Structure 1
């Protein structure tokens, strides 16, 4: 059986039956195509434990894959070959006993409170040509820092998803195909309202919440990336949008938010994912050490 045709069936199954995201399907496609090209595999019968193992070893040693990249490739093979086995195209999985490297445990990269405030100040005071762009950009960065939205979640955000009156943000089908509601602080609500008033003045009627300046449509992925590049240069701060999400999480803990509530706001499937922020916040840990019962003896 031609492995490319088989893979196309697997992609359709994963998308329409399993309900995996388009991003996941894209990853499956990239991994399988790269493997087939590297190992010169054309038929499913050509797949062996040896050439899968050699491919993964090549990636880890020659292409300098990090442990996380290796694990992503390994997981893709596990899912694809398990499906092939269930469909009767393989007797056993060629992934077999291939070991995976231990994932490095790193603390999330985040801003201090001072740098987060500095970035918001730079974003607002940047010498824009148009008032709309000033209010929109400030609202976008406030969404990342005050609500912890992911990049793709902000891009998909609709006008009707933001309820300023009830101080809520509805995240429709975020990562893992999960809906969630994120509460909105009064500071964020004021920033968003200022942007919405300006949006209304310019008669922006598209369904997307954050819109283009010149066109009546949502701002694009490249548009946001361009703004981030400008703000990096203007502020002198090195950051990614995901770093701003990490900043939201650590600042929430430092402010006294409990770990369960933060997990819900972040949209984590497992609360263990959220607990890493406990270690990323020295201020939070310092506040806890004061609870030692022998401190009063000093």
Structure 2
């Protein structure tokens, strides 16, 4: 079903600019807005190539969305979770267009999300985490990975930590404008606090950067560089798992689960809005099920 324009017809490139302004007003973080912009612009580029002409927002139909899904599956080889993320972005884009009176109805109204296989994510054991961190010889990145592993904060939250965000008196890390634009305070263990004091005293390069983890040349750290260092460390430690910066956060949560930490506490530490998100970290092992069965004594 074709959407109908209420105000003057608006081209996709105009709609994208309006959408990005709308996201900024809603207080979303720069990283979140960047993700939405990339996904929505990918669709706009695909629509332009398909039409071989400038595309008006009201021209987009449900059939176009379904064709886009087929393109993502067939040509781009995208996974269901990735496709659903792009569809959620487009849903928000057309929601914005509807609120701005550019269209009457969203073309995604009847579009179903793809079924995501219920597979457990990769996580590292305690020994694997220690081996990887020990294999990172770059001093700044060594303590960066250590902080992620011992605090569970997101890689972007770690990247954007300022010197003033780490409070050694309170033994806490203040996350400013985390995912969803939310702030939270994460406790530091005594071990992490001790290690970060060593980092500041002996390993942080002399720089004017306000970031806690700063490289001499750039004054900051990038996600790509962190992941490359982790890949090298895995090879040195003979660990064959596909490890990214997010796996350190995942392993933090999984380790707390293994220590019988209440899921609500893990939720708060990770900064999740709902327990449903936290539940992906609740790995159920065969031994756990066997132990549970042995407890039954009717």
Normalised to the residue count of structure 2, the TM-score between the two structures is: 0.84
Change in CA separation of 1:274 and 1:56 when aligned onto 2, cut-off 3 Å = same
Name which structure has the greater RCO, CA cutoff 8 Å, separation 6+.
2
CA contact (8 A) 2:32 2:180 kept: no
**Conserved? CA contact 2:226–2:245, under 8 Å:** no
Closer, same or farther: CA 179–290 of 1 in aligned 2, 3 Å: farther
Q: CA contact under 8 A between 2:231 and 2:244: conserved in structure 1? A: no
1:249 counterpart (249, 253, 273): 253
> Residues 7 and 169 (structure 1 numbering): CA distance in 2 closer, same or farther, change over 3 Å?
same
Q: In structure 2, what is the equivalent of residue 25 of structure 1?
A: 33
Q: CA RMSD in A?
A: 2.6
Give the conservation status (yes or no) of the 8 Å contact 2:148–2:248. Answer: yes
In structure 2, the residue matched to 1:34 is 42
- How is 1:77-156 mapped onto 2 (pairs within 5 angstroms)? 77-123=90-136, 126=137, 133-134=138-139, 136-156=140-160
Match of 2:173, SS?
Answer: strand
Name the count of aligned residue pairs: 282
Answer with 285-294 or 80-89: which moved more: 285-294
Aligned to 1:169, the other structure's residue is in SS state: strand
Aligned to 2:58: 45
Q: 1:137 to 1:280 in 2, by over 3 A?
A: farther
State the 1:198 CA deviation.
1.2
For normalisation by structure 1, the TM-score amounts to 0.84
Find 1:6's aligned residue among 6, 11, 15.
15
Q: Deviations over 1:165-193 (max 9, x none)?
A: 32111111111111111111112122111
Aligned-residue offset at 1:242: 0.8
| 2: CA distance, partners of 1:49 / 1:29 | 21
Q: 1:236 offset after TM fit, Å? A: 2.3
SS at match of 1:176: helix
Flag structure 2 segments of 5+ consecutive residues without an equivalent: 1-9
- Report the CA distance between 1:33 and its aligned residue: 2.8
Cα deviations by residue, 1:83-117 (Å, 9 ceiling, x for unpaired): 22222221222223122212222212111122122
1:232 maps onto 2:240 in alignment: no
Are 1:205 and 1:216, in contact at CA under 8 Å, matched by a contact in 2?
A: no
**Deviation, structure 1 residue 286:** 6.3
1:211 lines up with 2:214 in the alignment: yes
What runs of 5+ residues in structure 1 fail to find an aligned partner? Answer: 127-132
**For each residue in 1:41-99, what CA deviation from the matched residue of structure 2 results, as whole angstroms up to 9, or x when unmatched?**
52123222222222222223343322112211221222121222222221222223122
